[in-house]
Amino acid sequence: MTRSSLWVLVLAVSTLAAPARAQSVSETTPDAEDPRAQTASSAGSHQGDRLARLFDFVEQQVGQFTAPVDGFGVRFGGIASGSDLAAGPMWQRSALDGALRLRTSAAASVFRDYDVEAGVAIPELRSHRVSLNAGASMRHLARERFYGLGMSTSATNQVMFELDRSEAHLAASVVAASWLSISGRGGWVDMSVADGDYARAASISTRFDRRSAPGLGAPATFAVLSASAVVDWRDIPGNPRNGGRLQVSLDRHSDQSVNQYSFSSAALDVEQHFSWWRGQRVLSLRGRAAASTPDTGNDVPFYLQPTLGGNRMLRGFATDRFRDRSLVWAQAEYGWDLWPFLGAVLFYEGGAVAGEPAAFSFKDLKRDYGIGFRFGSARTIAVRTDVAFGSGEGTRIAMRFNHAF
188 assigned to some structural domain? yes
Question: Can you tell me the distance from the alpha carbon of 236 to that of 33, in angstroms, rounded to the nearest whole number?
Answer: 13
CATH at 258: 2.40.160.50
Q: For 135-152, what is each residue's pLDDT tens digit?
A: 999 999 988 999 999 999
- Listed in sequence order, the residues at least 6 apart from 348 whose beta carbon sits closer than 8 Å to its beta carbon are 331, 332, 367, 368, 369
244 assigned to some structural domain? yes
315 assigned to some structural domain? yes
DSSP helix/strand/coil, 179:
coil
- Listed in sequence order, the residues at least 6 apart from 24 whose beta carbon sits closer than 8 Å to its beta carbon are none
- Higher-confidence residue of 36 and 154: namely 154
Confidence of residue 84 (pLDDT cuts 50, 70, 90): low
- Higher-confidence residue of 301 and 382: namely 301
Confidence of residue 47 (pLDDT cuts 50, 70, 90): very low
Q: For 111-132, what is each residue's pLDDT tens digit?
A: 889 999 999 999 888 677 999 9
Question: Can you tell me the distance from the alpha carbon of 285 to that of 273, in angstroms, rounded to the nearest whole number?
Answer: 6
pTM exceeds 0.95, yes or no? no
323 assigned to some structural domain? yes
Residue 355 is which amino acid?
A: G
Flag whether pLDDT at 293 surpasses 90: yes
Q: What does the DSSP assignment read for 201-258?
A: SEEGGGT--TTTSTTTT--EEEEEEEEEEEEE--S-TTS-SSEEEEEEEEEEEEESSS
pLDDT for the residue numbered 37: 39
β 202-203/159-177 pair status:
parallel
- Listed in sequence order, the residues at least 6 apart from 272 whose beta carbon sits closer than 8 Å to its beta carbon are 243, 244, 284, 285, 286
30-34, 139-143, 164-168, 372-376, range with greatest mean pLDDT: 164-168
96 assigned to some structural domain? no
103 assigned to some structural domain? no
201 assigned to some structural domain? yes
Flag whether pLDDT at 94 surpasses 70: yes
Torsions phi, psi for 233 (to 5 deg): -120, 25
Residues, the chain: 405
Q: Which of 329, 282, 283, 284 is nearest to 310 (CA)?
A: 329
- Listed in sequence order, the residues at least 6 apart from 266 whose beta carbon sits closer than 8 Å to its beta carbon are 248, 249, 250, 251, 290, 291
Give residue 363's domain range.
3-66+126-400
25-29, 75-79, 165-169, range with greatest mean pLDDT: 165-169
Eight-state DSSP code of residue 357? G
31 assigned to some structural domain? yes
Question: What are the Cα distances from residue 130, in Å, to 69, 118, 125, 232?
Answer: 20, 21, 5, 17
Q: What's the total number of domains in the chain?
A: 1
Question: Can you tell me the distance from the alpha carbon of 361 to that of 350, in angstroms, rounded to the nearest whole number?
Answer: 12
pLDDT for the residue numbered 395: 94
Question: Can you tell me the distance from the alpha carbon of 81 to that of 372, in angstroms, rounded to the nearest whole number?
Answer: 19
Confidence of residue 69 (pLDDT cuts 50, 70, 90): low
pLDDT for the residue numbered 96: 82
Mean pLDDT of the chain: 83
Question: Can you tell me the distance from the alpha carbon of 274 to that of 283, in angstroms, rounded to the nearest whole number?
Answer: 5
Question: Can you tell me the distance from the alpha carbon of 234 to that of 237, in angstroms, rounded to the nearest whole number?
Answer: 6
Q: Which of 223, 229, 235, 349 is nearest to 282 (CA)?
A: 235
Q: Are 278 and 352 in contact (CB under 8 A)?
A: no
Confidence of residue 154 (pLDDT cuts 50, 70, 90): very high
Flag whether pLDDT at 235 surpasses 70: yes
Question: Can you tell me the distance from the alpha carbon of 186 to that of 145, in angstroms, rounded to the nearest whole number?
Answer: 28
Confidence of residue 28 (pLDDT cuts 50, 70, 90): very low
Q: For 236-291, what is each residue's pLDDT tens digit?
A: 998 899 999 999 999 999 999 988 999 999 999 999 999 999 888 999 999 999 99
